[in-house]
Amino acid sequence: MNNAPTDTTPTGTAATGIPPEQARVEQDLVDTVVASFDNTVDPRLKQLLQSLTRHLHAFIREVRLTETEWNQAIEFLTAAGHITDDKRQEFILLSDVLGASMQTIAVNNEAYTGGAAAATEATVFGPFFTEDAPEIPHGGDIAGGAHGQPCWVEGTVTDTDGNPVPGARIEVWEADDDGFYDVQYTDGRVAGRAHLYTDENGKYAFWGLTPTPYPIPHDGPVGKMLEASGRSPVRAAHLHFMVTAENLRTLVTHIFVDGDPQIGTGDSVFGVKDSLIKKFEHQEPGTPTPNGRDLGNQTWARTRFDIVLAPKDA
């Protein structure tokens, strides 16, 4: 169970060499703005606004933010808003590359080891999920014509006591071999995404594509920020999952490809966790597939991902 948050926000400034009178002027402003939210009826909203105010002012005072830098920040956020639409969320990208997304996930998905098995770790949601992914049957194909090496993915969904979870909804989505999600194309295609349900034994299986590394969209303000800071926009190869089941904690996670060199050089959104790195076993052409699918002369891969869901209130 998560504990109630503790307010550890700063009350002063970390800057040194500031004359006492100037420091008092700055602190008086902080106190005035914080007090302006004293009558906020919702106690949680009050905490959020007052803590945000203290942290924001502490940052400004610590770095001695210039008016030119303030204007540049406003221009950056404006540009992020302009490039955001129903298919691209630049603010999620910004949150991701600053590690804010992963930190929020860490705060809201505390490790649960109260049962026979540890719950599967969560990671970033990403900006490319859609609500209307088609349903596929057990053993169906999520590719929808997307290019890439076919990959058989299978596993079970259980609770932390090892009980199978029948009827769990599994959303899966991924980029194609060119590094693009379907929503990044302009032709309205639906590919590389679907949802399916576990069977009565908590088992699931589907065909997808072997994940490959790709860059997050870097033609906008977030990409320019990464370039200016000498950071790569490339994500480690991964396949997205979101798993929901009654009375169990919703899991948003990925699996990553063991041996992907990008894991060692750094995932641009800090999403990799060791427990989520899985072996994708290469299969030669002609190797019998698990459900009899004829892949002709294609190579393919297979992997296993057993999912453990924590209790809903854990």
- pLDDT (0 to 100) of residue 174: 98
Whole-angstrom CA distances from 202 to 67, 138, 243 are 58, 11, 12
From residue 255, give the alpha-carbon distance in Å to each of 16, 37, 92, 164, 174: 45, 43, 20, 20, 11
Q: 305 - beta bridge partners?
A: none
68-83 pLDDT, tens digit per residue, is 999 999 999 999 999 9
**By percentage, how much of the chain surpasses pLDDT 70?**
95
**Taking residues 180-189, what's their average pLDDT?**
93
| Secondary structure class of 49 (helix, strand, coil) | helix
pLDDT recorded at residue 113: 78
Give CA–CA dist 126/123, Å, rounded.
9
Query: How high is the pLDDT of residue 11?
Result: 54
Residue 5 has pLDDT above 60, yes or no: no
Q: What is the pLDDT of residues 253-291, one digit of tens each?
A: 999 999 999 998 889 999 999 999 999 999 999 999 999
Contacts of 226 (CB under 8 A, 6+ apart): 97, 218, 232, 233, 268
pLDDT-derived band at 202, boundaries 50, 70, 90: very high
pLDDT of residue 23: 95
Name the band, by pLDDT with cuts 50, 70 and 90, for residue 4: very low
- Main-chain dihedrals φ then ψ at residue 193, nearest 5 degrees: -155, 150
From CA 158, how far away is CA 295, in angstroms rounded? 31
Q: Where are the alpha helices (DSSP H) in the chain?
A: 20-35, 43-63, 67-83, 90-97, 100-108, 221-228, 261-265
Give the model's pLDDT for residue 6. Answer: 53
> Residue 102 forms beta bridges with which residues?
none
Query: Which pTM was predicted?
Result: 0.86
Mean pLDDT of 102-106: 93
Which residue in 285, 287, 280 sits closest to 302, CA to CA? 280
> Which string of b and e fits 274-285 if b means at least 16 CB within 10 Å?
eebbbebeebee
**Which CATH number is 95-309 given?**
2.60.130.10
Q: Is the pLDDT of residue 186 over 60?
A: yes
Q: Do 306 and 201 meet the contact criterion of CB atoms below 8 Å apart? A: no
pLDDT of 3 reads: 47
Give the CB-side neighbour count of residue 288, counting CA atoms within 13 A.
3
pLDDT at 111 over 60: yes
Residue with tokens 């076993």: 281
In this model, does residue 249 exceed pLDDT 70?
Answer: yes
Of the ranges 46-55, 84-93, 110-119, the best mean pLDDT one: 46-55
| Whether residue 7 has pLDDT greater than 60 | no
Q: Is the pLDDT of residue 1 over 80?
A: no
Q: Count other C-beta atoms under 10 Å from residue 176's C-beta.
A: 22
- Return the structure tokens found at 112: 């649960």
C-alpha atoms less than 13 angstroms from C-alpha of 32 in its C-beta half-sphere: 6
pLDDT confidence of residue 114: 79
pLDDT at res. 172? 98
Alpha-carbon gap, residue 234 to 214, rounded angstroms:
5
Residues 6+ apart with CB under 8 A from 113: 119, 160
- The phi and psi torsions of 5 (rounded to 5 degrees) equal -65, 145
pLDDT for 10 beyond 80: no
d(C-alpha 198, C-alpha 138), whole Å: 8
β strands within the chain, DSSP E? 140-141, 150-159, 169-173, 193-197, 203-209, 214-215, 234-235, 238-244, 251-257, 277-278, 281-283, 300-304, 307-309
